[in-house]
A and B are shown apart, each in its own frame.
Chain A
Amino acid sequence: MLKLLRRDLILNRYIVGPAYLLWSAMWLGGPAMSGDTMPFGLWSGGVSFACAFLPVMTLIREDKFKAGALVCSLPVTRDAIVASRYLGGWILALTGVAVAIAAMLTLSLFGVNPLRPPTPMLPATVVTVVGLALAVMLPMVIRFGMVGVFSLLIGAQLLGVVVLLAGAMFDARVVQGIEAAVKAIVSGSARLRDALGPAAYSAVLVAAVAVLNYASFRLSSLLYRRREF
């Protein structure tokens, strides 16, 4: 596992380093230039979502060079390869978020405070967003490579278009129903958080993300064993 992580680091170091700097600058620039004060949680949620694409970027690179065949000819099992994708993905994404947050906190030392102070929910927010994004994206990327990412993104957009069209053409209740479902999830989460308190609620979120990622990992392993090069 460590050998695979080391390999990915060597092969992607010229991509990941600049991406951290560029993305951090981008994420600092937005709030710093806007007049409003954004909640720290909202900002870090956005950063986390963007950073979850970092591991996807490295996998797309591997796909571009058709290097998946090379990895699978090395003396490692496919399950170990998939496990390293998940662990490496988490490390890459969380490091990206940490770099961005550290940069934002550094900015505040110079009197620039475009965000409201962080709440105790910050770590759980980051873990949840990164975890959800990775759990959904990785099986598609690991099995189908670049095509998987594009299929996922285009599929999500098409689904949105179809739902909106269905709402407009047939019955506005379709869209309203989806809105109501989203609101119910949000308010349900808020009620759970109020009932449990931030610490326990964070633990529940992290545990849920862990279970989801484990399920996603098992699915990816199953899919990757079927992948042919």
Chain B
Amino acid sequence: MTDHAIRIRGLRKQYRGFTLKDVDLDVPRGYVTGLIGPNGAGKTTLIKLIMNLVRRDAGTISVLGLDNLADEVAVKSRIGFIYDEPPFYHDLTLASQARAIAPFYPAWSDARFRGLADRFGLPLGKRYKALSHGTKMKFALAVALAHDAELLIMDEPTSGLDLEFRRELLDELTATLQDEGKSVLFSTHITSDLERVADYVTFIRDGAIAFSLPKDELRDRWGIVRTDRQSADRLPAAILRGGRERPHGVEVLVADVAAAREALGADAVIDRASFDEVMVLMHHGGGHAQAA
């Protein structure tokens, strides 16, 4: 059994005005991987390529050890997929839609689906259009989990939800996934969602993967150096990930706090980097020393 839920090599997709550039990415098996990046960075394109909803120009994608095109049926029967706007029929009840989807999945369990529906408080006899956005997402989650998917892929599942509903959905997700050894890839631009559930974080920017790391490493080793430009120049280039000018100096995102402290001295001001700051500094700074 491969250690990777998803392995992507040299993936390329070109649109007018945007290119997903030769992406290499490993999504580890059994963990929650958050895909973050600003709007238009390529998160949805990457997910659609994995699901073969758009055609790739180059590269390979292996899902659960199988090629996503050659073994499309086998791959998709093991994936639960959730869209940011789930494309269900608005004028039909939830029960009808679940009945239409169930036969496609050999591992679909009606008992499991009904259990999830009960837990999520889904009104199965109600028409889809009568539901709130949050309940629609919960329905999509119940459908995705009812066939015991080994891999969940979710495109902005919490977008458009209010804070309370977002938290509830993520709690449901983590509770459901706990101890089941499932792999999850979910895209978001809401960094607090990552703090809550992700084990790994992949940052995508301008169609390229900027980094893909365990969340703990990001939290423990990355930091923001607040200093003046002359001191910033003393930082080793290998640890620089981004930065920006500030009124009273510069902020530099570094991938190794210890190395930064060694270069600048023990009294250097180095703060822990939140996901928001990582996103902002990498977005502004281009990920290189020159940015600062």
Name A residues whose Cβ lies closer than 8 Å to a Cβ of B. Answer: 3, 6-7, 10-11, 14, 61, 65-70, 72-77, 225-226, 228-229
Contacts and interface: CB of A to CB of B under 8 A. Distances in A.
Most chain B CB within a 10 A radius of its CB, from A67, A70, A72, A225: A70
Given A11-B97, A229-B53, A65 B87 contact: yes
Interface in B79-99: 79, 81, 83, 85-92, 96-97, 99
Nearest to B78: A75
B76 A75 contact: yes
A65 B128 CA distance: 11
A14 B91 contact: yes
Nearest to B103: A3
Contacts of B165: none
Contacts of A68: 87
Contacts of A65: 87-90
Contact of A11 (B48, B92, B104): B92
Nearest to B51: A73
Contacts of B99: 10
A228 B73 contact: no
Given A11-B89, A228-B54, A229-B54, A73 B100 contact: no
A229 B74 contact: no
B73 A11 contact: no
A3 B105 CA distance: 10
A12 to B, nearest CB: 9
A71 to B, nearest CB: 9
Interface size range on B against A: 20 to 34
B52 interface: yes
Contact of A74 (B48, B74, B101): B101
Contact of A69 (B55, B79, B87, B103): B87
B77 interface: yes
Contact of B104 (A61, A75, A229): A75
B233 interface: no
Closest 7 CB pairs of A and B: A75-B77, A75-B76, A228-B54, A10-B100, A7-B100, A229-B53, A66-B87
Contacts of B100: 6-7, 10-11
A70 B54 contact: no
Nearest to A229: B53
Contact of B96 (A11, A66, A73, A76): A11
B52 A74 contact: no
A82 B4 CA distance: 32
Contacts of B73: 75-77
A6 B81 CA distance: 21
Contacts of B76: 73-76
Contacts of B72: 75, 77
A71 B210 CA distance: 32
A69 B44 CA distance: 13
Given A3-B103, A3-B104, A11-B97, A72 B52 contact: yes
A226 B83 CA distance: 20
